[in-house]
């Protein structure tokens, strides 16, 4: 199956972000925390591609070093959403009408609340920080995984080979681990890629509001927030990191849709 230019470009961008995550020091020689007082508000140029901020810190260096904090928090959110959503979807589709009714009413309750609001509830209850943000954003995405897994599990259970498996004496756990989990694995992984992009956006938004990692530790949302009061004199402090976050989210969405098409094929 040929790869479209959009998918190829998205893949390259995501690979770059993964490289930043693994070895940020290999991509910049600037310190993301300590700046140069003589180089404050330097515009984008060959020496500073994203310019410098009010403390003389290289903005691109802060974006590169902030990748790890943002990605780890977003990864925690996806893990929480995928695990809880898969368990809820499997329980609803395999444990009978009562479990299905209870599970779906829980899903309906979560749908009624915006995911960012759920994250704010968790942060308010347990305090600001990457852990509470990751768990809160993850709980907000449980709905997506639960509905996907339930629908896929019900589809597979209606197939002839599942009835044959039951007649052959296969028990609940055998069918669950041998048939249902392999069937839902591909769609869940495809959704996880898309949800990771949404989690990056949610984590950055909460960091922008001041609920994430405290300064001066770099984090994408915090980096964008730091430039708000300097838009008139240093537009690049907010615009360039914000544009980069947007491109990463779009790239993850493109890869997620491509993965979903490959799974269906």
pLDDT above 70 for 265 = no
- Tell how far CA 92 is from the center of its chain: 25
pLDDT above 70 for 113 = yes
Assign 52 to helix, strand or coil. strand
Query: Is residue 209 within 8 Å of residue 219, measured between CB atoms?
Result: no
pTM of the model: 0.88
Confirm whether 111 is domain-assigned: yes
Bigger pLDDT: 60 vs 36: 60
What residues make up the domain containing 212? 50-263
* pLDDT at residue 260 in the model: 67
Total tally of structural domains belonging to the chain: 1
pLDDT (mean) for 98-102: 89
DSSP codes of every residue in 173-216: HHHIIIIIHHHHHHHHHHHHHHHHHHHHHHHHHHHHTT-SSPTT
pLDDT (mean) for 216-245: 91
Confirm whether 190 is domain-assigned: yes
Confirm whether 33 is domain-assigned: no
Question: HSE of 163 in the Cβ direction (CA atoms, 13 Å)?
Answer: 4
Confirm whether 1 is domain-assigned: no
The tens digit of pLDDT for each residue in 15-54 reads 999 999 999 999 999 999 988 888 899 999 999 999 999 9
What distance in Å separates the CA atoms of residue 147 and residue 153, rounded to the nearest whole number?
10
Other Cβ atoms less than 10 A from the Cβ of 10: the count is 22
Query: Is residue 100 within 8 Å of residue 66, measured between CB atoms?
Result: no
Confirm whether 4 is domain-assigned: no
Query: Is residue 138 within 8 Å of residue 80, measured between CB atoms?
Result: yes
Residues in the chain: 265
Confirm whether 43 is domain-assigned: no
- Could you tell me what percent of the chain has a pLDDT over 90? 45
pLDDT above 70 for 196 = yes
Confirm whether 9 is domain-assigned: no
pLDDT (mean) for 106-117: 83
What distance in Å separates the CA atoms of residue 56 and residue 77, rounded to the nearest whole number?
33
Here the tokens at position 205 are 């938004």
pLDDT above 60 for 264 = no
The tens digit of pLDDT for each residue in 147-191 reads 999 998 888 877 777 777 777 766 677 777 777 888 888 889 888
Q: Quick one: pLDDT band at residue 118, thresholds 50, 70, 90?
A: confident
Confirm whether 17 is domain-assigned: no
**CATH code (residue 104):** 1.10.3720.10
């Amino acid at each position: 199956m040929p790869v479209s230019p959009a998918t190829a470009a998205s893949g390259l961008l995501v690979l770059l972000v993964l490289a930043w995550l693994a070895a940020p020091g290999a991509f910049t020689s600037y310190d993301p925390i300590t700046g140069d007082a003589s180089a404050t508000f330097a515009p984008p140029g060959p020496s500073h591609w994203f310019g410098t901020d009010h403390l003389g810190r290289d903005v691109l260096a802060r974006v590169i070093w902030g990748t790890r904090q943002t990605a780890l928090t977003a990864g925690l959110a996806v893990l929480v959403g995928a695990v809880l959503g898969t368990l809820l979807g499997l329980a609803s589709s395999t444990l009978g009408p009562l479990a299905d009714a209870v599970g779906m009413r829980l899903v309906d309750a979560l749908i009624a609340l915006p995911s960012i609001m759920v994250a704010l509830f968790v942060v308010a209850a347990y305090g600001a920080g990457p852990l509470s943000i990751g768990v809160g954003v993850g709980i907000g995405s449980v709905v997506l995984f639960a509905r996907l897994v339930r629908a896929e599990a019900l589809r597979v259970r209606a197939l002839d080979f599942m009835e044959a498996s039951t007649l052959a004496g296969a028990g609940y756990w055998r069918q669950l681990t041998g048939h249902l989990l392999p069937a839902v694995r591909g769609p869940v992984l495809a959704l996880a890629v898309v949800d990771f992009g949404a989690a990056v956006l949610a984590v950055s938004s909460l960091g922008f509001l001041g609920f994430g990692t405290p300064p001066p530790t770099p984090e994408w949302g915090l980096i964008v927030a730091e430039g708000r009061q300097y838009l008139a004199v240093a537009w690049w402090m907010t615009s360039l990191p914000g544009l980069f976050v947007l491109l990463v989210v779009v790239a993850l969405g493109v890869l997620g849709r491509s993965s979903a098409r490959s799974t269906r094929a």
